[in-house]
Amino acid sequence: MKTPPETPLLDQVRIPADLKRIDEKELPQLAGELRAEVIDAVSQTGGHLGAGLGVVELTVALHYVFDTPNDRVIWDVGHQAYPHKILTGRRDSIRTLRQEGGLSGFTKRDESEYDPFGAAHSSTSISAGLGMAVARDLSGKRRHVISVIGDGAMSAGMAYEALNNAGALDARMIVILNDNDMSIAPPTGAMSAYLARLASGRAYQGIRDFGKKLTSYLGRGVDRAITRAVEHARGYVTGGTLFEEMGFLHIGPIDGHNLEHLVPVLKNVRDHGHGPVLIHVVTQKGKGYPPAEAAADKYHGVAKFDVITGAQSKPQANAPSYTKVFAQSLMQEAEEDERIVAVTAAMPAGTGLDLFGKKFPERTFDVGIAEQHGVTFCAGLATEGYRPFAAIYSTFLQRAYDQVVHDVAIQNLPVRFAIDRAGFVGADGATHCGAFDIAYLSTLPNFTVMAAADEAELKHMVHTAAVHDSGPIAFRYPRGNGVGVEMPERGEILEIGKGRVLREGTKVALLSLGGRLSECLKAAEELEAAGLSTTVADARFAKPLDIELIDRLARGHEVLITIEEGSSGGFGAHVLHHLAHAGLLENGLKVRPMIMPDIFMDQAKPEKMYADAGLDSAGIVRTAFAALGQAARAARA
């Protein structure tokens, strides 16, 4: 008679408290089952795979050792938190990841009490953790705070600002540096694990505390000196680090896939730790899934894929992606102008600059997750006569707004901003939505702001930006593929501040900025069929406005509708401001700005998001009917 198979350990874990009933020797088996579950789930949904596979053992160890959710575990970026979601009551819904109405692809406070801080932009975990640690101490509560940072997030200055502040406050918190690129220091096997365990244990902590107590009567300066002497003494054995100089007890590096090393160290830090502690854990991105381990990007972000082969199912497109059009257009410009250089902030593939970098490696710069530095770096290049293109997602450029204002706009430096992911971005949801750049750039003196309506217009805008030396210039374009228009051999130089008219009418004017132009053309056909003669124009520029075009549309139509993939305060607001001052709102003109709604929209298919926002052709038709007082027809539309 066959012995019935044992129940998988993962099936016995609904929440982290269930882990406590599992024998420590069985944790590697649990980790293997968890890794398989992550692979299977992401194969069905797509998403960020490599980073999560690299922290499976670390996730198990953290929830095994600490008392979550009372103890706070903060995952930096959040895309490495898929294993964490499975262990914290969300396994049953993990296959709704990044789908409409499903789990977020990042940590999210209103999704689970086990997500104490929402994160999708990097390098925030230490700052947030320090805030929680100080709040805990002010409230007289007892809990551990653990910030897990890695996957490039330590390249951002904000992380070091937080480390410096935590060290100065001598805050009781734990930072886990997840080094998954082997870029800081490799583990050195058993000896490294032994030194890590020794440094985190009672003996070393006792020496450290004894030094503090011995000198408590002699003043803080002497106390600090003796404590540092103990740290330096340890440095002769384990190697002094920048982290120690910032006031952290530095433990590691240790193998982040060896639970026999991880669990004892975490227990020691939990039971004997005082002040700030940094544990350096070395992991392998994509660990345990051969296709990911072999891939250059370690399957950082994937579409749905076949688990056996790793082959991703990407739909065939009828038009090139905007990102690829940008990259190819920039390469074309760079062939003609050796002053053109390209800068990205840790997103070479996402922005298309990996292609540019293969052709012009000496003129391509990846500054890491450091948008602030990247923008000012471009400003420095511009002062010396170069023509820098800063290729940064709209949502990430927000992180460098002061540099855009102070270092670029005030000095009127010709930095070119290529703003990818403008508008809704689908599965990445609210954190990656490019909603605000029109508003936050078009308010700045000296700036020129363009928005591409299709892939051909993007090519024109790259060429226009390349030759624009009179000040900063930005052009934005959506995520995904173009609309299938005929592509020019070479981009044209657009006249600054001038739009174009695609079809003429007399009743309704649709003035589009950016990627909604094709929906405006569809809406115009429906309006014409309903007897409403419709003009469609492409503004091209949010700043400077095409005043002549706006005035002509306002005087020649009963309804003027502006359409943009941006927040309030953007293009439509500037058009209304002009019309008000020009006195063109006093003769019965009905103006209706159409913008993205004043909410943070959760993930869904992009077309569904635009429909829900009313920014598709049906929404435009409804707006036109409503402006004309044709309520019944608006309802039918």
Catalytic positions: 285, 371, 399
Going 518 to 519 to 520 to 526, the CA torsion angle's sign is positive
Q: Is 621 exposed, middle or buried (0-12, 13-18, 19+ CB in 10 A)?
A: buried
Q: Which long-range contacts (CB under 8 A, 24 or more apart) does 108-117 make?
A: 108/78, 112/85, 112/88, 113/69, 114/16, 114/68, 114/69, 114/73, 114/84, 114/88, 114/89, 115/81, 115/88, 116/69, 116/72, 116/73, 116/74, 117/72, 117/74
3-state class (DSSP) for residue 177: strand
Rounded Cα distance, 480 and 610, in Å: 14
Check if the beta carbon of residue 406 is closer than 8 Å to that of residue 580.
no
Nearest CA to 134 among 94, 105, 170, 159?
A: 170
Rounded Cα distance, 251 and 616, in Å: 54
Q: What is the DSSP string of 240-285?
A: --HHHHTT-EEEEEEETT-HHHHHHHHHHHHHH--S-EEEEEE--T
Helices (DSSP H) in 352-506: which residue ranges? 353-359, 371-383, 394-397, 401-403, 437-442, 455-466
Scanning the structure block, which residue is given the tokens 């990044």? 98
Neighbours of 197 (CB within 10 A): 17
Rounded Cα distance, 187 and 344, in Å: 30
Check if the beta carbon of residue 617 is closer than 8 Å to that of residue 522.
yes
What single DSSP character describes residue 411? T
Rounded Cα distance, 344 and 348, in Å: 6
Rounded Cα distance, 428 and 446, in Å: 32
Q: How much of the chain is in helix, strand and coil states, percent to nearest 5?
A: 45, 15, 35
Rounded Cα distance, 385 and 397, in Å: 23
Q: Can you name the residues that pair with 475 across neighbouring β-strands?
A: 418, 450
Q: Angle at CA 439, nearest 5°, toward 435 and 442? A: 135
Rounded Cα distance, 137 and 134, in Å: 5
Q: Can you name the residues that pair with 559 across neighbouring β-strands?
A: 508, 590
